[in-house]
């Protein structure tokens, strides 16, 4: 079991920055403005060889009314009660403030070890603030810089010394939990639903829209199964998202959908399946996650039966790719209908993880193609031959067929809907990949063709003409011929002269023949000039 450590302090002193550094990931949202963190967040981290369970908290405000700041303070006090060691952080640049003194008085009443941290101590201006931290009464402050990673060795020594007397119980690691993300538009009741399932006010709630900013994960157990809820920030339409902080919250929500296994889409009963709800459902389907529709605030509905039928009809019409998705109506505030949610979640998770036997799939393929044969494209009919499931979560099938690239999309949708109905897979995303079975795998470029081998020159290639001089040089390189040819070799000029019998009949001329010239022999006169032709008639 890891040591449970809470990071506390007034707003904007760098608690979330230190939390991210010790966790090793950018889990908590960080911004220059104060009050970004509102809920308390748990995550596993380490420093040196020590395993830690870190708790990031909201900035402490000395407010006791019914405001949002007061509810944030209650979350911080709950983290202090749950932790075994407390890291009390102050800003070394600004020094000790009145709010630091009020919070220090609160921590002195807690019978737990407290380590004083002077953050932002990398600059020269921080020296005075570090000296003022002694007045808070928690011993020597540890000067660190959470943003730059300075002072981590001193922090490690302080944690080791403060936790020497803390008994850490070793417990068995639980099974891998089912990750469930709760998404929806702002003020749809997501945090209220999670609190109702947990049976405690674990997450910050209220009438204000947009309270949740971070994606907060909470572990729970349902009928012996490990569950991990991820409460996300409300997602508005993209055109309305302008602030940098809200953009970070939306990106955090999308990341939570990516890593979830089951997604609960919370919708207001009066505005269910609005454009934003449809876009969120389509995003979940494209990510391949199991989906549950939840209509909240159902205790205020006057005609529940007719409204329920209308919402189911809207789901079938606007989201046909998610046909059969479970639909649950409830009231998170009063608890009405909440008991029907978790059975639907477990069933959707099991459907999402299903594996179908290859024999059953091919029996289904034969019946499906007989009931509705594939269309003919360009006068040639497509022939499905074989199907198998390659993976689950979501169920993915590969169909081998002739002329696979010509299979129309409407026929693929028919096959997917038939799989969904035949094997009882309502609502879960199904992937169907069609591959061609007519290609020869051993042909060139096929999957089993292998590297190309050299087969020699082609028979139709032109024969290479070897000249005499080249042939003689080749012969001279043969063993035993070099010495014999060296003895009989004589110097021969490049131009070889000889008298042709046909040319000797011409009066007063003898012709030398120059061999090796391009275009054949050329005539050379006795003076050595090359005769290229006569421009004028010879004189008589």
Enumerate the known binding-site residues for GTP. 9-16, 56-60, 119-122, 184-191, 231-235, 296-299
Residue 7, class by beta-carbon neighbours within 10 Å (0-12 exposed, 13-18 middle, 19+ buried)? buried
Place of tokens 């303070």: 73
Binding site as annotated, residues:
9-16, 56-60, 119-122, 184-191, 231-235, 296-299
Q: In the Cβ-directed half-sphere of 99, how many Cα atoms lie within 13 Å?
A: 16
- Phi, psi angle pair for 282, to nearest 5°: -65, -35
**Measured distance CA(252)–CA(278) in Å, rounded:** 19
The phi, psi pair for 419, rounded to 5°, reads -60, -45
Under DSSP, the state recorded for 193 is H
DSSP helix/strand/coil, 55: strand
Angle at 280 between CA 275 and CA 283, to 5 degrees: 125
Q: Give exposure, 507-538, as e/b (b: 16+ Cβ within 10 Å).
A: eeeebbbeeeeeeeeeebeeeeeeeeeeeeee
CA angle 213-219-225, nearest 5°?
140
CA dihedral sign, ordered 133, 68, 272, 303: positive
- Provide the 10 A C-beta neighbour count for residue 232: 27
Q: Please write down the HEC assignment for all residues of 476-506.
A: HCCCCHHHHHHHHCCCCCCCCCCCCCCCCCC
User: Residue 185: is it exposed, middle or buried by C-beta count within 10 angstroms (0-12/13-18/19+)?
Assistant: buried
What is the dihedral angle through the alpha carbons of 516, 522, 527, 528, rounded to the nearest 10 degrees?
A: -30
Handedness of CA 519, 525, 528, 533 (dihedral sign): negative
Strands (DSSP E) along 68-223, which ranges? Answer: 85-91, 114-119, 142-143, 178-184, 216-222
CA angle 184–188–189, rounded 5-degree value: 110
DSSP annotation of 124? G
């Amino acid at each position: 079991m890891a040591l449970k450590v809470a990071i506390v302090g007034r707003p904007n002193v760098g608690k979330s920055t230190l939390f991210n550094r010790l966790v090793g990931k950018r889990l908590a949202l960080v911004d220059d403005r104060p009050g970004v963190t509102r809920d308390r967040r748990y995550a596993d981290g380490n420093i040196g060889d020590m395993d830690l369970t870190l708790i990031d908290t909201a900035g402490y405000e000395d407010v006791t009314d019914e405001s949002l700041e007061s509810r944030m303070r209650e979350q911080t006090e709950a983290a202090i009660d749950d932790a075994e060691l407390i890291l009390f952080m102050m800003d070394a640049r600004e020094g000790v403030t009145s709010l630091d003194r009020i919070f220090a008085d609160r921590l002195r009443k807690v019978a737990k070890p407290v380590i004083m941290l002077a953050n932002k101590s990398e600059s020269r201006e921080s020296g005075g603030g570090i000296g003022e931290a002694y007045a808070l009464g928690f011993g020597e402050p540890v000067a660190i810089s959470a943003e730059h990673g300075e002072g981590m060795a001193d922090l490690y020594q302080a944690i080791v010394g403060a936790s020497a007397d803390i008994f850490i119980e070793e417990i068995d690691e639980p099974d891998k939990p089912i990750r469930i993300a709760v998404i929806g538009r702002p003020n749809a009741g997501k945090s209220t639903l999670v609190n109702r399932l947990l049976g405690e006010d674990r997450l910050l709630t209220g009438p204000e829209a947009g309270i949740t900013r971070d994606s907060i994960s909470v572990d729970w157990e349902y009928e012996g199964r490990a569950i991990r809820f991820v409460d996300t920030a409300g997602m508005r339409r993209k055109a309305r998202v302008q602030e940098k902080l809200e953009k970070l919250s939306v990106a955090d929500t999308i990341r939570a959908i990516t890593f979830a296994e089951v997604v609960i889409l919370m919708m207001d009963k009066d505005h269910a399946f609005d454009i934003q709800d449809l876009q969120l459902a389509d995003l979940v389907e494209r990510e391949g996650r199991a989906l549950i529709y939840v209509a909240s605030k159902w205790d205020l509905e006057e005609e529940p039966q007719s409204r329920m039928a209308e919402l189911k009809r809207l789901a079938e019409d606007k989201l046909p790719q998610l046909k059969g998705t479970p639909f649950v109506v409830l009231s998170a505030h009063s608890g009405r209908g909440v008991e029907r949610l978790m059975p639907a979640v477990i069933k959707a998770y099991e459907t999402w993880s299903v594996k179908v036997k290859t024999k059953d799939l091919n029996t289904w393929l034969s019946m499906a193609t007989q009931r509705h044969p594939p269309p003919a494209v360009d006068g040639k009919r497509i022939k499905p031959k074989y199907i198998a499931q390659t993976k689950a979560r979501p169920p993915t099938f590969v169909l081998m067929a002739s002329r696979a690239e010509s299979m129309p999309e409407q026929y693929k949708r028919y096959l997917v809907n038939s799989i969904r109905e035949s094997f009882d897979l309502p609502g879960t995303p199904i992937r169907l990949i069609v591959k061609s079975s007519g290609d020869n795998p051993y042909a060139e470029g096929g999957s089993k063709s292998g590297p190309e081998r050299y087969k020699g020159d082609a028979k139709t290639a032109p024969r290479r003409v070897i000249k005499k001089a080249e042939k003689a040089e080749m012969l001279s390189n043969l063993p035993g011929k070099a010495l014999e040819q060296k003895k009989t070799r004589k110097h021969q000029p490049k131009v070889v002269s000889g008298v042709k019998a046909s040319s000797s009949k011409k009066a007063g001329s003898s012709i030398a023949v120059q061999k090796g010239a391009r275009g054949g022999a050329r005539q050379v006169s006795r003076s050595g000039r090359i005769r290229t032709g006569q421009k004028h008639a010879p004189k008589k």
